[in-house]
């Protein structure tokens, strides 16, 4: 019996354009979801001069320089797939914190990946077999551990990782390109200096994401994290959004904080989305929804 031809099946929720982006010689293609804010060693002015967005070409340019470890030099929140037409190789990579989820499976010489498990299950040839260990983990800990999913053969793509699929040898390899151990240990830095540097980096990340062409928006829970980000955004007008049952602490605190900050505040009742209140007759709308919800990455 002949072996099936190795293939790649993917499904990425993308909103950058164009897709796919090709290298100048059209030998390498890239599809991605998310954003690339900067790339170490690349001059953004060169992209602007050629009419390119950094999202469009940064990954390709860095892949040409660094090879399969290209994501290590990208700053952003993203998941990227690169296809090499000449070497017949697919490379998957995500950002250091795995802010965009990706699931993958290798089944009968085929690599399948998607942003949700159900995207992989759409493949009629993939077996739908429950992972009993994952089920036991969920019952005991109320969440899954590591890269497990509820289905055998489907794994969560780990953060700061690169997966390579060689279509010629039909081999898959997965390895991290960065870990927290890569952060140098600096016992010589005083706490006050480290504290000040942390604040400087956070401010820089918030301002980078809030001063682009999009109208900024913040998920405001009323907690310390979101109110800190809100306090660092200088630009106005600013939108804040809170999800929660009316008059719960999150909603009350967020409403007060938004009033102090002068943001355009919106509240969303999750019961409407779950169908507990005649959701079939409701339509949700948010005026001027072209907002960029902040996820700071230093």
Is there a single domain that holds both residue 88 and residue 217? no
Question: Tell me: the pLDDT tens digits for 82-102?
Answer: 999 999 999 999 999 999 999
HEC letters along 132-198: HHHHHHHHHHCCCCCCCCCECCCEECCCCEEEEEECCCCEEEEEECCCHHHCCCCCCCCHHHHHHHH
The arrangement of strands across the sheet holding 239-243 comes to 264-268, 239-243, 215-219, 291-293
Share of the chain above pLDDT 70, in %: 80
Q: Are residues 160 and 217 in the same domain?
A: no
| Whether residue 136 sits in one domain with residue 28 | yes
- Which one is predicted more confidently, 239 or 213? 239
Domain boundary residue, one of 181, 205, 224: 181
Last residue of a domain, one of 155, 181, 207: 181
Tell whether 119 and 229 lie within a shared domain: no
- Same domain? For 174 and 60 the reply is yes
Q: What band does 2 get if pLDDT is binned at 50, 70 and 90?
A: very low
Confidence of residue 55 (pLDDT cuts 50, 70, 90): low
Query: Domain limits at 32?
Result: 7-181
Q: Are residues 84 and 21 in the same domain?
A: yes
Q: pLDDT class for 272, splitting at 50, 70, 90?
A: low
Q: How many structural domains compose the chain? A: 2
Count Cβ atoms below 10 Å from residue 297 Cβ, excluding itself. 18
- Tokens 């993958």 belong to 104
Per DSSP, which regions of 231-280 are E strands? Answer: 239-243, 264-268
Q: Are residues 214 and 267 in the same domain?
A: yes
Is 1 domain-assigned?
no
Q: Are residues 37 and 167 in the same domain?
A: yes
Residue partners of 279: CB distance under 8 A and separation at least 6: 272, 273
First to last CA, the chain: 53
Task: Specify whether 171 is located in the same domain as 200.
Answer: no
* 208 close to 231: Cβ distance less than 8 angstroms: no
**What percent of the chain is predicted at pLDDT more than 90?**
48
151 bridge partner residues: 130
Is pLDDT of 108 > 70?
A: yes
Q: Write down which residue in 181, 206, 226 finishes a domain.
A: 181
pLDDT at 9: 55
134-178: pLDDT as tens digits? 999 999 999 999 999 999 999 999 999 999 999 999 999 999 999
Question: pLDDT band at residue 115, thresholds of 50, 70 and 90?
Answer: very high
Question: What average pLDDT is seen over the chain?
Answer: 82
Our measurement of the distance from residue 25's CA atom to the centroid of its chain's CA atoms, rounded to an integer in Å, reads 28
186 in a structural domain: no
Alpha-carbon gap, residue 53 to 21, rounded angstroms: 11
């Amino acid at each position: 019996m002949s072996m099936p031809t190795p293939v790649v099946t993917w499904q990425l929720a993308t909103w950058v354009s164009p897709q796919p982006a090709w290298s100048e010689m059209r030998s390498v293609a890239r599809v991605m979801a998310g954003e690339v804010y900067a790339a170490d060693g690349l001059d953004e002015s060169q992209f602007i001069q050629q009419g390119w967005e950094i999202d469009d070409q940064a990954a390709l340019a860095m892949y040409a320089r660094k090879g399969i470890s290209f994501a290590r030099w990208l700053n952003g929140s993203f998941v990227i797939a690169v296809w090499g037409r000449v070497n017949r190789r697919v490379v998957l990579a995500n950002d250091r914190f795995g802010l965009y989820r990706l699931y993958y499976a290798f089944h009968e010489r085929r690599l399948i990946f998607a942003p949700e498990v159900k995207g992989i299950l759409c493949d009629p040839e993939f077996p739908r077999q429950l992972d009993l260990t994952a089920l036991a983990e969920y019952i005991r800990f109320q969440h899954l551990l590591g890269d497990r999913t509820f289905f055998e053969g489907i794994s969560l793509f780990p953060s700061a990782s690169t997966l390579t699929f060689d279509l010629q040898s039909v081999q898959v390899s997965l390895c991290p390109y960065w870990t927290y151990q890569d952060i140098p240990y600096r016992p010589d830095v005083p706490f006050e200096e480290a504290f000040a540097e942390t604040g400087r980096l956070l401010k820089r990340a918030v301002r980078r994401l809030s001063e682009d062409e999009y109208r900024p928006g913040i998920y405001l829970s009323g907690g310390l994290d979101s109110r800190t980000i809100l306090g660092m955004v200088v630009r106005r007008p600013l939108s804040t959004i809170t999800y929660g049952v009316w008059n719960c602490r999150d909603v009350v605190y967020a409403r007060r904080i938004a009033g102090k900050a002068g943001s355009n505040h919106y509240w969303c009742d999750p019961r409407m989305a779950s169908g507990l209140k005649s959701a079939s007759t409701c339509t949700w709308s948010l005026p001027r929804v072209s907002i960029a919800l902040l996820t700071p990455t230093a």
